[in-house]
Amino acid sequence: MMPTTQPTTIPTPTSSSLGARPGFWQQPLVLAVLGGLLLSGGWAPYPSAVASLLLFGAWLPYLVLERQLTQQGARTRRVFASTYLMLLVWNALTTWWVSYSSLPAGIAAVVLNALLMCLPLMAFRQTKKRLGDRIGYLSLPIYWIAFEQLHLHWDLTWPWLTLGNGFAAAPQWVQWYEYTGFLGGSVWVWAVNLLAFWAWFGQGGVGTRTSHESRRWRWALPLVAVVLPIGISLIIGHNYQEKGPTTEVVVVQPNFDPYVEKFEGGAKFVPPNEQLTRYLTLSEQHLTPATRLIIWPETALEEAIWENTIESDFRIHRIREWLGRHPGVALLTGVTTINSYPSKEAASATARHRDDLGYYDFNNAASYFASASAPLAIYHKSRLVPGVEKIPPILSSVLSNIDLGGFVGSYGSQAERTVFAAPANAPALRPAPLICYESIYGDFVSEYAHNGATLLALSTNDAWWHDSPGYRQLLTYGGLRCIETRRDLARAANTGFTGFINQKGEVYQREPAWISTASRGTVHLNTELTFYARHGELIGRAVQALAVLLLAAAVLKRKQR
């Protein structure tokens, strides 16, 4: 029986329902490229707070793209292709400079990381399909941040593009990282993007009309979500006072080109004894009677030293003699070491073997002289660069059977966060040795504060990346670690940026890159623990548990159908 009345309104047909070609800005290719461009704003070549604002709308092209393709009934592979293109553009624009140090590593960082980033987005799509739009969109930030948490801990760890790192150039906006850590910034980005998506499209998705009054009210929510956290952060920053006693630190930047000067085999290789002379000369030029710590960069002592005979090395002798002429000064330096194991059973998972040497590990390490006569303390770098310093076990077993004509395998590492003891004349000075890549891990660095560190001491070699965005971004990441732990950071780069960052994440002293120099600064030595340092990565662990529950619910729903 036919109805006797007709609808009083006719739904507005969408381009997909008519079979018409979408407009230029609705093309999947355009939306994917636009999304990648906006996401790269947080990692601009010259980091700035203004560019970080782009993150608050960076996911809108993807959300529109995914909804549009879903309405058109597009196959999963087409959605995946568009998603991967967007992530590939983002990765290529932000981390292309990795190829300077290793072309294969640079390609892998872009291609494979973009592929891995597709996993949480495709999980969202399947969850939305099976559990509905409401739960589906709520699952999106959960899956993404669970992936970011995973990316902090597994063998292929590469958290450079964690969304919360995108505000590194705007530390004044994220002073509340002392409570949430940098994953709190990831929550912030997703909250604003999803609220903006809902404000524009409403409950009905793309193509649904809403009144001007309703849309105006909805836009208030994302605006508040942007402004309120910034306002709270500005209040926290305004009221925060530097904590702890002060001491004087010297950081040294020798400016050795790692490609031609630093390492043996380079065209202009500088012998180890001459390199050491430059370190000692620069240190002496900036030393004062108030100086209590000197920091040298990563692999300052680059020729590998066996740890069981380290005191017999001529460089260690020279350093101890020099410290003897400057009593009251401690020294922290980067060094390459080799430690041996008495048997296969005692060896680490990364140990290699030679018949004449037994089982041993190479280490990118930091050594610490509390005084001229104090026993040498050593820390082994623990967050290793995938593909360069660390090879996943499954690949290591394969490569070990292939003669590549050079170093194959992973460097050694250690499980605990070593905090070096305070020198006798500076009882509050307990430095945390950070080596380069380690400074991008919020939860990792906070463990140092939890273990009693009062100063973050970073040794790095940024010259591997030439004059690229890489070393500029790494500098700003250090500011986020200062906020999360409320610790000052003293930064010694072989070349790059050498200087100091305060407890509010502000760079207050910085030397120019690409020159031989040193810098002297006064740092605060805070002993108080932030909420984040006390409790660790609560957000990351919580969302991983929720992600497992959501995936289980989606799988069960599919079985029921």
Q: What pLDDT digit, counting tens, does each position of 67-88 carry?
A: 999 999 999 999 999 999 999 9
Beta bridge partners of 246: 524
Q: What pLDDT is attached to residue 94? A: 95
- What is the pLDDT, as a whole number, of residue 403? 35
Q: What phi, psi does 267 have (nearest 5°)?
A: -60, -30
> How confident is the model at residue 100, as a pLDDT?
87
Q: What's the whole-number mean pLDDT along residues 403-425?
A: 77
User: What's the rounded Cα separation, in Å, for the pair 124 and 137?
Assistant: 7
Half-sphere exposure of 380 (CA within 13 A, CB side): 18
Q: How far apart are CA 527 and CA 448, in angstroms?
A: 11
pLDDT tens, position by position, 344-402: 999 998 899 999 999 999 999 999 999 999 999 999 999 998 877 887 765 555 444 43
The SS3 of residue 263 is coil
Cross-strand bridge partners of residue 433: 457
What is the mean predicted confidence (pLDDT) over 275-302?
97
Most confident of 22-26, 72-76, 304-308: 304-308
Mean pLDDT, to the nearest integer, of 97-105?
84
**Average pLDDT of 52-70?**
96
**What is the distance between the alpha carbons of residues 88 and 74, in angstroms, rounded to a whole number?**
21
The pLDDT-based confidence of 104 (bands split at 50, 70, 90) is confident
In this structure, of 9-23, 24-38, 95-109, 404-418, the range with the lowest mean pLDDT score is 9-23
Phi, psi of 148 (to 5 degrees): -60, -40
pLDDT of residue 217: 77
- pLDDT value at residue 204: 43
Backbone φ and ψ for 14, nearest 5 degrees, come out as: -90, 165
Compute the chain's Rg from CA coordinates: 26
- Predicted local confidence at residue 465, as pLDDT: 86
The answer, yes or no, to whether residue 12 has pLDDT greater than 50, is no
The CATH class for the domain spanning 246-335+365-381+417-527 reads alpha beta
% of the chain with per-residue pLDDT over 70: 90
Domain spans, the chain: 22-240+539-560, 246-335+365-381+417-527
Q: Is the pTM of this model over 0.85?
A: yes
* pLDDT in the model for residue 202: 72
pLDDT band of 213, cuts 50, 70, 90:
low
pLDDT at 498 over 60: yes
Whether residue 325 has pLDDT greater than 70: yes
Higher pLDDT, 207 or 99: 99
Q: Which of 199, 176, 203, 198 is nearest to 187 (CA)?
A: 176
pLDDT at 212: 58
One-letter identity of residue 447: E
Crossing angle of the two packed helices 183-201 and 538-560, in degrees rounded to 10: 50
Which pLDDT belongs to residue 61?
A: 96
Q: Are 117 and 110 in contact (CB under 8 A)?
A: no
State the average pLDDT over residues 284-311: 96
